[in-house]
Homo-oligomer: A and B are copies of this chain.
Amino acid sequence: MIIVMKPNAAEQSVNSVLNTVKENGLRTHRASGETVTIIGVVGDKTKLDTSTILSMNEVEKIVNVTESYKLVNKKFHPAPTVIKLPYTTIGPDSFTVMAGPCAIESREQIHAAAKAVRDAGATMLRGGAFKPRTSPYSFQGLEEEGLKYIQEAARENAMDTICEVTSEYALELAVKYVDMVQIGARNMQNFELLKEVGRSGIPVMLKRGLSSTIDEWLNAAEYIMSYGNPNVALCERGIRTFETATRNTLDLSAVCVLKEKTHLPVIVDPSHATGVRAYVEPLSKAALITGADGIIVEVHPNPPCALSDGPQSLYFEQFDKLMKDLAPIADLTGRTLH
C-alpha cells in the first residue's frame, strides 16, 4: 500500500500518518519528492483500515499495490481449480456446456430439454426454479416442484444440474436437489447469501454483477471461499453500458484478466449477455477460443412459448449445430467438450 500526501503537506501531517501506520504494527518507507511525499506501507495490511488513513490531514490518496483477495488469488494458489461433479469436470482440460431453459416450466418441458441437450453432447442441465424478476407481476418460478423436476430429468439422462438460488431459503431447498448452485448478477454482493453458500460447501457459479468491476467480483468470490467453500466458478454474463443494441455488453476480455488473476474456472453466458439468439453461436465459439472453461446457454423446446427470456433461447436444432461447431475448436485448444 502506498499513501500519497497532498502537495507540500506539512511535516506534522506526514508524521501523524507515519505514526498511525506504525501503531498498527506495520513498517513504512518514506520518499519525498519536490512537492509530494509518499509513504510505502509494508506488512499485513488487513490490520489497517484505509478509511482511517484517508481521513487524516493532507492525505491525497491510497494506492493498493497488492490485491485484497487472497484465497482466490492465483499468485498464492497457482494451480487451476477443478470442480468435479458426477458427470462433469469443470477446469482447464474441458469445455463445459451448461444448457437448458431459463425457467423450469413443467416436467415435460425440462425432460424434453434434458434429452435434447444430452443427445447433443452436453452433460450439465440448467433451469431456474427461483426467478429474480424486475417486475413483481412476472412469473417467479416453480420453486421446490421445479427442483424435483430438474433432478429427475437429469438423473434419467446421466447429467448434472445447476440452479440459481436467490435467498437462504432457496439455497436450503436447492442443496437437496441440485449438483451446483448459481448466484445471479443481482445477488453478487448479497453478502449474507455469499456467506451461506460458503458454509454449505456446494459447488457454486458466481455471476458477475451488472456493474461490478473484476476486483469486486473476485472479492465476492473471496467471501464464499473464506467461509469454507473451494468449489467456486465465475461467470461473465455481460456488463451494463450505454449500448442498447445488445441487452448487456459481453466483456470477453474479462476472461483474459481472470485467467491472469485467479485459479478459479471461468464460464461465459452469451445468452444473457446479448439477449439475442443469433449471437449465441459466434460468441460461444469466441468464449472457447479466448480461454474460457465453459459456457451456459439457454435452450428451450419451443422458444416462442418460453415464460421468460424467450428471444435468446436456442431451438434444439440450433443447440445441436452449436455443439457440432464447437467440436473442432475444442480440438484446436486441447479441451474435451461436454
Contacts and interface: CB of A to CB of B under 8 A. Distances in A.
Contacts of A222: 135-136
Interface residues of A, number: 106
Interface in A242-288: 242-246, 249-257, 260, 273-274, 276, 278-279, 282-283, 285-287
Contacts of A220: 134
A311 B33 contact: no
Interface in A17-68: 29, 31-36, 38, 40-43, 46, 49, 51-52, 54-57, 60, 63, 65-66, 68
A147 to B, nearest CB: 16
Interface stretch (A90-98, A114-122, A302-310): A302-310
A38 B306 contact: no
A292 to B, nearest CB: 10
A334 interface: no
Interface stretch (A154-162, A172-180, A182-190): A182-190
Interface stretch (A78-86, A199-207, A211-219): A211-219
Interface string A130-146: 00111111110000000
Residue picked from A46, A57, A65, most chain B C-beta under 10 Å: A65
Contact of A329 (B46, B168, B223, B332): B332
Contacts of A133: 191
How often does this chain occur in the complex, in copies?
4
A260 to B, nearest CB: 7
A192 B169 contact: yes
A58 to B, nearest CB: 11
A4 interface: yes
A186 B279 CA distance: 28
Given A211-B242, A240-B242, A245-B215, A252 B283 contact: yes
A112 interface: no
A137 to B, nearest CB: 5
Contact of A249 (B41, B216, B241, B273): B241
Residue picked from A226, A244, A285, most chain B C-beta under 10 Å: A285
A318 interface: no
A255 B242 contact: no
Interface string A299-338: 0000111111111010000000000000011001000000
Given A36-B66, A169-B192, A289 B285 contact: yes
A109 interface: no
Contacts of A256: 274, 276, 278-279, 282-283
A33 B40 CA distance: 8
Contact of A54 (B35, B249, B290, B311): B311
A257 B243 CA distance: 11
Nearest to A71: B136
Given A69-B135, A134-B189, A243-B254, 17 more contacts: A2-B2, A29-B38, A31-B40, A33-B43, A49-B138, A51-B310, A134-B219, A136-B191, A170-B192, A190-B190, A214-B245, A239-B243, A241-B249, A243-B251, A250-B252, A256-B276, A282-B290
8 contacts: A52-B304, A52-B307, A136-B191, A210-B211, A213-B243, A215-B245, A239-B249, A286-B290
